[in-house]
Chain A
Amino acid sequence: MKRILSAVLMVLLAFSATGLLAYADESVPAGSVASITTSEGQKSYYPSLADALKVLQPAAMYDGAILDILQDVTCAFWWDGTVNQSSSNVIQSANVIINGNGYTVTVGTDCGNSSKNFLVFPNGVQINDLTLVLLSGGGPRFNGGDCTLNQVNITVKDVTGVKGGVLTDGTTGNPSKAFVTFYVGNGSSSAIQINGGRFAQENSGERVVDGKAGIADIDIIDASFIGGSEFRMYSALSGSNLYVKNCYFDKSFITGGTTNFVGAVTLESSIVLASTAVGSGIIVNSGIWFNTRNKTVSIYGENGLGCFAPELISMQDGASVRLHPETSGIRFTSDISEKMRELAGSVSGMTVEYGTLVVRKDQLGDVEFTVDSMTAAGIKFVECKAEAGMDENGSAYRAAIIGIPQTDYGNDICARSYVRLTVGSKTVYLYSDYSEESNCRNIREVAGAALQAHESGEITYSEAELAILRGYAAAE
């Protein structure tokens, strides 16, 4: 009983009069949703995300603080609904860091089309590894300072009137009905960087990106923008530059206010599905531009260019065992997205080939797993074109590596899905996502896992198949 009372007392002490859990050591109080670590290294825990955010509200006190999200969060409001985005006074602490730690924050269960539901950062912020699901209201808004989003995913569900997004120096104007917004009002210098992430607008009637940009450099690398009505920057002051590399835009790209956009827009190795041709002021150094209205495609850049296209082609994690009695081996499976199949069937004058790049991990080393990089580095690899391995729906295909010598049963083989597009004399490769963790395997470990599955009763193999698996798993 004493222990119980002690525990209760500890919890009561932990909650201060303001309702905050505050600990200065490394123990994590039960029920903690977020923590804040000051620039001096003092850490405190909070029972809700709103409580933690409110701590960051005053200017200066928490400059440079780190907010860690410790579990998935669902909340009706970012805040308490009393802070209007136009006052730009929410998170005054400068240059705070928010670590999502892979968790999901779902916001807006009870606020409708409310401009009070923005989360405003007027003095710079970095957000890492976080997924936001916006049911209504708005997302984070960056009104000043430098803003960096690393692996941040934002999904706006199928609701109308969602506002907010990414912007900077947004002291004038009111971008509406968008969730990723680039906005510089009064010419202050700022920088926005988006590294990775997926930004999806499930309400097709709204814009994916809506922005007014002044003097801001915006760099977007390795990100996908899905759905929405358009990707737009407009009413710009001179001096802004938008640089896009390895990105995918599935809808439109810079339409509407294009004539008012003064800055430079440069695309590298990116894929755009737009209802228009490339607009004026947009420089496509390399990449693919699908005109979905005219059903045409244009390829830019050097022949054999590679584009990162995880929205169009993907490889299943891990590998499997090909249990053919004479030609067993290790197998990698690729999935073709519905969008890719739609493009392949509708765009005229384009030849589409699917396949799997295969290479030994010890030969790939640190070289980029692309045709041009491996060719330049003199690495031996194989383009395994999908033919017999294509399923009857044209939605998946399989490539197997056979004849592996026993001495190499423990050597990892890496695979990556590709789509090879040819238009006239131009060829471009679209690549799936790739990581060693997901896409490199050796036959010994995969066969061993299959045997474990058999032993646990999840799968039943015949004796002949078990003999094949044991031959790989047991050999040294």
Chain B
Amino acid sequence: MKRDYCIPELSVLRLCLADVLRCSGQLDDYDDVIYYGELS
């Protein structure tokens, strides 16, 4: 699985976006996820 997914910094934001995620097709499953409601 390709995990070197970060692209160079764009303006002030470092965007580790999903273009290469399509290579594996599943990389966005590999986040630890919390629900926004847990913060309120």
Residues of A within 8 A of B (CB): 316-324, 327, 329, 331, 333, 355-356, 358-360, 363, 380-382, 384-389, 391-393, 396-405, 408, 413, 437, 441, 445-446, 449-450, 452-453, 458-462, 465
Contacts and interface: CB of A to CB of B under 8 A. Distances in A.
A446 B6 contact: no
Given A384-B32, A386-B32, A317 B39 contact: no
Contact of A331 (B9, B19, B22, B31): B31
Contact of B30 (A355, A389, A445): A389
Contacts of A461: 17-19
Contacts of B34: 358, 382, 384, 399-402
Interface of B: 1, 3, 6-7, 9-19, 21-22, 28-40
A320 B32 contact: no
- Where chain A touches its partner, the secondary structure class is mixed
Given A321-B18, A331-B16, 7 more contacts: A322-B33, A358-B39, A380-B39, A388-B32, A402-B35, A402-B36, A459-B17
Nearest to B28: A324
A450 B39 contact: no
Contact of B39 (A320, A360, A399, A465): A360
A380 B40 contact: yes
B39 A363 contact: yes
A71 B23 CA distance: 43
Contact of B1 (A322, A392, A397): A392
A388 B31 contact: yes
Contact of A392 (B3, B17, B22): B3
Contacts of A355: 32
Contacts of B32: 355-356, 384-389, 397-400
A450 B30 contact: no
Given A322-B28, A322-B31, A402-B34, A391 B18 contact: no
A459 B28 contact: no
B15 to A, nearest CB: 5
- 7 shortest A-B CB distances, which residue pairs? A389-B32, A400-B31, A318-B13, A320-B16, A323-B18, A324-B28, A318-B14
A353 to B, nearest CB: 12
11 contacts: A317-B14, A319-B13, A355-B32, A380-B40, A382-B38, A389-B31, A398-B16, A449-B10, A453-B15, A458-B10, A461-B19
B15 A320 contact: yes
Contacts of B22: 462
